[in-house]
Structure 1
Amino acid sequence: MSDEPDNIVLVMLRRIDAKLDRVGEDVHNLKVRMTSVEEGMAAMNRRVDRIDERLDRIERRLDPTEVR
């Protein structure tokens, strides 16, 4: 390669390309993390649903009546 400096446009395009690569990696990491959060929330919702079902079953067994 020659000793003369690169074209300024090429330099800027290389910088943009490098930044775009980093942004792409960051977006990928965020997607992975969000998927993990969503799976955790789904598991938590299933547990809450089971607790709600168990509570309903307990209430039916006890047959609570309202006192006035």
Structure 2
Amino acid sequence: MAETDNLVLEHLRHIRGQLDRMENRLDDVTTRLGHVERSVAEHSVQLAEINAKLDRLDARVTRIEKRLDLVEVSN
């Protein structure tokens, strides 16, 4: 009976060790995912800034074209 108890305890310890390693890996994956999310958010902000600059440039070019009579003004 003692051998069976020792065998069960040994298996439980092994399972516990595996669970601890899996928990550590999950923590690492969660941390890395947070970095990816932050990077995507930063890129989204940069893209929005670029789009705003392009919109302003487009408005300026349109105004210049109208002043120089390079395009027909439509109503």
- TM-score range relative to shorter protein: 0.7 to 0.9
Structure 2 runs not aligned, ≥5 long? 66-70
Q: Is 1:32 aligned to 2:31, yes or no?
A: yes
Alignment RMSD, CA only?
Answer: 2.0
For 1:28-67, list aligned pairs within 5 A.
28-63=27-62
Runs of 4+ in 1 over 4 A off after TM superposition: none
Match of 2:68 in 1: none
SS in 2 for 1:7: helix
Distance 1:38 1:61 in 2: 35
Deviations 1:1-26 (A, max 9, x none): xxx85621111000000000000000
Shift of 1:52: 0.4
Shift of 1:30: 0.6
Structure 1 runs not aligned, ≥5 long? none
Give the structure-2-normalised TM-score: 0.75
Deviations 1:5-61 (A, max 9, x none): 562111100000000000000000111111011101100110000000100110011
What letter matches 2:44 in structure 1? N
Aligned residues: 63
Distance 2:14 2:49 in 1: 53
Give the structure-1-normalised TM-score: 0.83
Of the two, which has the highest radius of gyration? Answer: 2
Q: Which structure is higher in RCO with an 8 Å CA cutoff and minimum separation 6?
A: 2
